[in-house]
Chains A and B, each alone.
Chain A
């Protein structure tokens, strides 16, 4: 019998930061769910996978190259920008990424 896995509230907060998801007030709920799910998937350890390779691509494709010209499906700049809410001088405006700038809008 393997040891029961326990996901704590603190771990949920850590994961939420990595995944950039807001879990305010729901940490307990997620901790309980993740604990439950991770314990259920433990059944995989019943199967011996020694010397078994992983399968990432089921049809066996490898190194698919693109012939030139790629395709006639191209987007104009207007099309690329049509869903952008915050534009400055023809550029897409983002939040700052360096410390202290995260909350600066454009």
Chain B
């Protein structure tokens, strides 16, 4: 029946009307995985039996409680995939690394716990750059994940497995995490919708840390509306993560079934930063993004040119902050309480932890770490000024479409360069979403919207209205 191709919204409607069961959706997803994952390698672990059992339980609840069940459990019976850096109790969690191979968490991350409480069903854990250190998923210690649109291309990273699992219809939605680009970049390269929430909107408890001051858990899905469903579940204060915000959580679903308003974005001002459009981009990419600007304008939004700091400074700030925080976060792996020894660290982890050790060390702290944190303040102030004039900022998600395997080795800062357009907003803790806006040589192109802190609702609404009139997000790769 191909129920694996459905969105969350379509699943819920069908489950409520008893057109199909959760077991059938789950089985279709597992069938898709067993059919294609030996080629694509999106998953590190698949927990099929467990998922089927959970789906049967979900069907029981729906049978007993009917539609009412979805009030208590809004994601009831929906199968999803989760990046392998979320602790899942009793299920191996590796963060794509040899260091954590064999590690069975004794506790559940807040994100996966909340999805579980909401009735979501975990299909498996997806591949990623080891410890999320990368932008192509090539640095996974286990294997490389292929882009479903073109098997010679990388999916982007570090949430590459999660993005591919969605684009190849192996799940209904997936969970990724972003430090600076790790959701938006793979979403863009795989033609799916990826939301990076505001820092502190979603709990990091149980998420294997990369850079603690920017790590943001978030969803990858088939459209913006589905991202709203997921954010509704995972957002909010968590007593286990002191950095989660007390700012109240909204209902992020704001789509009307019948919208007669042809100018739904009237009154919304979207800023177009020239510095984001003037970077070195793949030929034809900018034009695709400009086409989406035209759509937003047709929907009633006012497009305003704005001045944002050249994103090249963010590359430098991000490199220092991230390497420094990585050096601290990787310090805990001693192979004594869990995991393997430090000799199992791969090249990328060594590179980052060692440079971070250097930038934090006595004599260099002020020149590097303190300087970077000061420029971070400049970047934040710069965004604040812009957000006095506009409600959202628009830009390309990445400078190019999915790259070929091996390209990432060509630069010492490959990831930082690919994520150049995500870094400023990540450093500032803002929310952002990448949505498909066309194709270039049969590869997806992504456009991103950036919003003020905690204004995910605005972001999701605008992205959702765009997807109501444009169908790029519905295109799917032909799998071999």
A-side residues, CB < 8 A to B, are 7, 11-12, 15-16, 18-23, 26, 30, 33-34, 36-38, 40-47, 49, 52-59, 61, 64, 66-67, 70-71, 73, 75, 79-80, 82-86, 92-94
Contacts and interface: CB of A to CB of B under 8 A. Distances in A.
Given A41-B319, A41-B320, A58-B429, A15 B358 contact: yes
Chain B interface main SS type: helix
Interface in B75-120: 102-104, 106-107
A47 to B, nearest CB: 6
Contact of B376 (A21, A55, A71, A86): A55
Nearest to A53: B377
Contact of B357 (A15, A38, A40, A42): A15
A37 B312 contact: no
Given A15-B354, A30-B351, A47 B213 contact: no
B125 to A, nearest CB: 17
B277 interface: no
Interface residues of B, number: 61
B245 A52 contact: no
A21 B342 contact: yes
Given A30-B351, A58-B199, A61-B242, A52 B374 contact: yes
18 contacts: A11-B358, A15-B354, A15-B361, A20-B342, A22-B345, A23-B350, A30-B350, A33-B351, A33-B412, A36-B412, A44-B372, A49-B371, A59-B243, A64-B243, A73-B240, A80-B106, A83-B102, A83-B104
B47 interface: no
A41 B200 contact: no
Contacts of A66: 239, 242
Interface stretch (B169-177, B333-341, B462-470): B333-341
Contact of A83 (B200, B339, B368, B413): B339
Given A23-B350, A58-B213, A43 B313 contact: yes
Given A41-B319, A59-B199, A21 B412 contact: no
Contact of B107 (A30, A49, A53, A73): A73
B412 A41 contact: no
Chain A interface main SS type: loop
Nearest to A34: B355
Contacts, number: 151
A31 to B, nearest CB: 11
A22 B343 contact: yes
Given A22-B342, A54-B377, A55-B380, 18 more contacts: A15-B355, A19-B350, A21-B349, A21-B353, A34-B355, A37-B412, A40-B316, A41-B319, A43-B316, A44-B313, A47-B378, A55-B373, A58-B213, A58-B453, A59-B200, A80-B106, A83-B338, A83-B339
B106 A64 contact: no
Given A15-B358, A34-B354, A44-B313, A84 B242 contact: no
Nearest to A46: B313
B350 A21 contact: yes
Contacts of A26: 347
Contacts of A67: 239
